[in-house]
Amino acid sequence: MERHKHNILVVQIYVDDIIFGVANEILCKEFSKMMQGEFEMRVMGELNYFLGLQIKQQKEGMLLNQSMYIHDLFKHFKMNEAKDQPTPMSTSLKLEADEGGKSVDTKLYRGMIGALLYLTASRPGILFSVCMCARFPSCPKESHLNAVRRILLNGYSQHS
Domain boundary among 47, 65, 83: 65
Same domain, 104 and 35: no
Same domain, 129 and 52: no
Strands of the sheet containing 53-58, edge to edge, are 49-50, 53-58, 61-65
Same domain, 24 and 6: yes
Q: How high is the pLDDT of residue 19?
A: 86
Residues sharing a CB contact under 8 Å with residue 154, sequence separation 6 or more, in sequence order: 84, 85, 86, 87, 88, 126
Q: How high is the pLDDT of residue 155?
A: 64
Domain boundary among 65, 87, 105: 65
Q: How high is the pLDDT of residue 20?
A: 86
Domain count, the chain: 2
- Range(s) of the domain holding residue 20: 2-65
Same domain, 89 and 138: yes
pTM over 0.85: no
SS3 (DSSP) at 90: coil
Same domain, 100 and 142: yes
Q: How high is the pLDDT of residue 24?
A: 82
Same domain, 77 and 112: yes
Distances (CA, A) of 156 to 41, 62, 73, 84, 114: 35, 21, 9, 7, 16
Same domain, 50 and 96: no
Nearest to 74 by CA among 160, 153, 159: 153
Same domain, 100 and 132: yes
Q: How high is the pLDDT of residue 134?
A: 95
Same domain, 74 and 104: yes
Report the alpha-carbon distance of residue 63 to residue 73 in Å, rounded.
Answer: 21
Same domain, 143 and 78: yes
Q: How high is the pLDDT of residue 23?
A: 78
Same domain, 116 and 102: yes
SS3 (DSSP) at 151: helix
Report the alpha-carbon distance of residue 114 to residue 89 in Å, rounded.
Answer: 18
Q: What is the pLDDT along the chain (160 residues), one digit of tens a residue?
A: 555 667 888 888 888 888 888 878 888 888 889 988 988 888 788 888 888 889 898 888 888 888 889 889 989 998 877 766 665 566 666 789 999 999 999 999 999 999 999 998 888 888 988 999 999 999 999 999 999 998 888 766 555 5
For residue 20, list its beta bridge partners: 11
Same domain, 72 and 143: yes
Domain boundary among 12, 41, 65: 65
